[in-house]
Structure 1
């Protein structure tokens, strides 16, 4: 199992279908588990996917429409039922505080989980820990909405052959990493730059500056493609993107892996989304399906904008 992967729990938009549950996406990122936009039925989808409640460390909501948040009550109550020992941090637009409170306490239950709320109302970094910096950017939708961007800091990759030549092994490697120099050997001499990875999550929005800021040089971009381009006027009217628009953003921003999702129930042929996206995007393309697992691409040089 990849240490970094996207587990797709649901891919529908406003209405679920026989094959697509409401939204839900769990990003496994080393020891962190970020649950994005859990729509109705997410707790059951987690069961099907083999995802325990204890895997969740953050809940991130883009906005307060039902297909993006009606799964919160079940997930939150499961945290208490399973007595998840670690704190779980919840991020959501501050304008949705009343809705989140109602979701959190939708029914009576014995609250044993440690859920910590972090409402936000502007662009910027909303959390920073060993996983990296979690940033938000404002989107354009009929209700206030924000997208998310997880940025791992740049680091260095140790070179085993160089370490062996320098006679540095075992615990002394960590000592060198911590100090930057050991016995006359500099860290730069036995390591190489390792670019940090970037994950971006964009839902329910028209094209706007926030979309491009979130997608910029992302290793993986998960983005809504509610409509096909023939319905782009309808997409704009309702505050959504087409598959072609999402793919064009990915191409311009140098995205490595593009994951299209949040499909309108009006379309029954997923291949049409892939065909439309391929007209403008040449990188790794995934048309998401429920319970799919998508590995975050290995570290490397992020592609340049085309």
Structure 2
């Protein structure tokens, strides 16, 4: 299977003429999860031709405005579109109060239910969203305020079955093929037992995407990125401003690359660029010295994750 990672905004703190604020959509088989929702996120969804109604969950890293202030407007739009499917909103403790303080956003005023999953400061790990195909887990990362990063993980799928070999062994019914894929033994009408050995390949691990911002390099970020096919990691500054990065709880491009390298990730996308960099090329060059498979995230580009 393939899923897409679509950055909506790659700027930090304040929008510019060419950059929007934090937000990234992950889309798989028509369903979506949104990570952060800075001001302008829903306009970017419209510009990208991305369906807002297909959202299953919105995961907010922390309660700074550049990651949050687009959320009330987006939820209001979902109500105006007469959405009825429930929505999961994940974020630090207090996000429910923030949303319910906004006129028109209390659960009993919306045409759909909102399930809030609030993360308490001091938590270590939590699965915050799950369906039949994917899980989203959260871990704490290290910013000026309590902050969480997220990992979007496809579930492991059964191994592929050798249909010709299975039919040669006497398997003919659909339920028998499905049982073999579950690695169960099938008993035929004549009493012959057909095992999955040699007929079904190994389980197929799903793809993984890590969303790590805002943060200094930390163990939580490395755990989220461990073995991930794609990591989106903040790189607000170059090493020239490493001291400033530490003061404000952000990472340099080199530090982001070190996290990806140490985590054994496949690919790194840099994001959350300071407005001082009109061109992210210096950040990419710095990161590639440590982790060559690095690029700058581009707004509304589609990044395929295929395992």
4+ runs deviating over 6 angstroms: none
Aligned with 1:191: secondary structure?
coil
Matches within 5 A, 1:147-226: 147-160=149-162, 161-168=164-171, 171=174, 172-178=176-182, 180-183=184-187, 184-193=193-202, 194-226=204-236
Alignment-derived partner of residue 120 in structure 1: 119
Normalization by structure 1: what TM-score? 0.88
Partner secondary structure for residue 157 of structure 1: coil
Q: For the Cα contact (< 8 Å) 1:14–1:67, is it kept in 2?
A: yes
**Structure 2 counterpart of 1:11:** 10
Which residue of structure 1 aligns with residue 190 of structure 2?
none
Q: Partner residue of 2:247?
A: 237
- Larger Rg, first or second structure (1 or 2): 2
Question: Residue 40 of structure 2 corresponds to which residue in structure 1?
Answer: 41
Matched residue SS, 2:236: coil
Unpaired segments ≥5 residues, structure 2:
188-192
Match of 1:137 in 2: 139
Match of 1:30?
Answer: 29
1:146 aligns with 2:165: no
Instruction: Give the C-alpha shift of residue 129 in structure 1.
Output: 2.5
1:248-286: per-residue Cα shift (whole Å, max 9, x none)?
111111111211111110111221122111101133x33
Structure 2 equivalent of residue 67 of structure 1: 66
Structure 2 CA distance for aligned equivalents of residues 187 and 198 of structure 1: 28
Alpha-carbon displacement from aligned partner over 1:10-57 (angstroms, at most 9, x marks no partner):
111101111111111100133531101010011111001111111210
Structure 1 residues 103 and 288, CA, compared in 2 at 3 Å: closer, same or farther? farther
Matched, 1:272 2:282: yes
Contact 1:95 1:144 in 2 (8 A): no
Helix, strand or coil: the match of 1:5?
strand
Q: Which moved more, 1:187-196 or 1:261-270?
A: 187-196
User: For structure 1, which segment, 259-268 or 96-105, has the greater mean C-alpha deviation from structure 2 after superposition?
Assistant: 96-105
Counterpart secondary structure, 2:15: coil
Deviation, structure 1 residue 155: 3.2
State the 1:104 CA deviation. Answer: 7.7
In angstroms, what is the RMSD of aligned CA positions?
2.3
Q: Does the 8 A contact of 2:216 with 2:251 survive in 1?
A: yes
Equivalences, count? 295
- TM-score, length of structure 2 as denominator length: 0.88
Q: How much does 1:135 deviate? A: 1.4
Contact residue 232 and residue 270 of structure 2 kept, 8 A: yes
Question: 2 CA distance for matches of 1:13 and 1:188?
Answer: 53
